[in-house]
Amino acid sequence: MGWNLLRGWTVLVYLFMFLPVAVVMLLSVNASQFGSFPMTGFSLRWFVELANNDAILRAFRTSILLGTLTAIISSTLGVLASLALVRYEVPGRNVISTLLIAPILVPEVVLAVALLLFLNVLQINKSFLLLLMGHVIFTLPFVILVVQARLVSIRRDIEEAAMSLGASPAQTFLQITLPLLAPAVFAGMLFAFTISFDDITGTLFWKPGGVETVPTQIFAMLRNSISPEINALGTVMILLTAGLPLVGMAIARRMASRRGG
């Protein structure tokens, strides 16, 4: 009896979470002019229109460029910061660590306004570079958390063994530490990319005029009308943001199994 109740609740919770997603995906293949039920037939016409919509394609390119650069910069900085914090006696290590993690704890709106005001004071104009900087700031904590956790589990004596065999500190990092760290770096990059790709709050504040990312583009389109194209775009976003980590995990698992589990 008690178990059945729990099962029922679980199903309801999942429905509540995933039904809207399913509805969006379902409606994206609806042939009707209006994005609502009842469905009138199966069609991929909204995807075709999406592919012909210059504004959306431009937003896609911006988002992917932004996400990729964010992932690369964040993971580079994250690996370096983690190395310093875990492997070296940096003065004020705890304070630095807390400061680097802080962007997760501060509400994004506050962070967004703060950065904007700061740049205003410095009289720097909004630009793509600023947008990129903002994204790096709030994806960095995720990278650092993932990489640090992994780095702590890499035994120091493995690196010491490599050095005793003749590898310089740089060679030891490239030959031993980085390959062992790779799954975490990879996960951190995926995190950074998907967070950047999905972000709207900070992006709305920081983006220069004329630049749209996919989320801000959807937001702009919604203000005019609810076109079924948005459902198609939503579906693409869902597949991309859910699919990337799945592909990533599959790759990581294959890499692990090649080395004998």
Partner 1 sequence: MSAVQLTDIVKQFGTFTAVHRMSLEIPDGGFVTLLGPSGCGKTTTLRMIAGLLDPSEGEIAIGGRRVNEVPIHKRNLGLVFQNYALFPHKSVADNIAFGLRYRNVPQAEAAKRVREALELVQLPDVGDRYPKQLSGGQQQRIALARAIVIEPDVLLLDEPLSALDANLRESMRVELKRIQHRIGVTTVFVTHDQSEALAMSDLIVVMSDGRIEQVGAPEEVYNTPATEFVARFLGASNILDGRVSGADGGELTIEAPAIGAIRVARARAPGLDGAGPAKLVIRAEKLRLAAPGALVDGEVAVDGMVETVDYQGQAARYFVRVGGEQLQAINMIDDHPFAEGEAVSVCLRPRDCAALPGGPQ
Q: 114 or 256: whose CB is closer to partner 1?
A: 256
If one asks whether residue 220 binds partner 1 (CB under 8 A), the answer comes out as no
Give yes or no for residue 179 binding partner 1 (CB under 8 A).
yes
Amino acid at 216: T
Q: Does 253 bind partner 1 (CB under 8 A)?
A: no
Contact window for partner 1 (CB under 8 A) among 15-23, 56-64, 127-135, 166-174:
166-174
Check binding of 164 to partner 1 (CB under 8 A). yes
Name the one range near partner 1 by CB under 8 A: 46-54, 127-135, 162-170, 236-244. 162-170
| Least spacing, CB of residue 235 vs partner 1, in Å | 38
161 is a contact residue toward partner 1 (CB under 8 A): yes
State the nearest-atom distance from the C-beta of 257 to partner 1, in Å. 11
Nearest-angstrom CA–CA distance, 53 and 184: 37
- What's the CA gap between 48 and 31, in Å, rounded? 12
Q: Does 254 bind partner 1 (CB under 8 A)?
A: no
CB of 251 to partner 1, least distance (A): 15
Sign of CA dihedral 116, 122, 123, 125: negative
Please check whether residue 77 is in contact with residue 136, taking contact to mean a CB–CB distance below 8 angstroms: yes
Taking the C-alpha atoms of residue 61 and residue 80, their distance in angstroms, rounded to an integer, is 29
Minimum Å distance from CB 96 to partner 1? Answer: 22
CA distance to 53, 61, 118, 240, 244, per residue, from 65 (Å):
18, 6, 25, 15, 16
Cα gap 151→154, rounded to integer Å: 5
Under rule CB under 8 A, residue 155 binds partner 1? yes
Residue 177 C-beta: closest distance to partner 1, Å? 10
Q: How far apart are CA 185 and CA 251, in angstroms?
A: 13
Report how far Cα 148 is from the mean position of its chain's Cα atoms. Answer: 18
Contact residues for partner 1, defined by CB under 8 A: 155, 157-158, 160-169, 171-172, 175-176, 179-180, 259-261
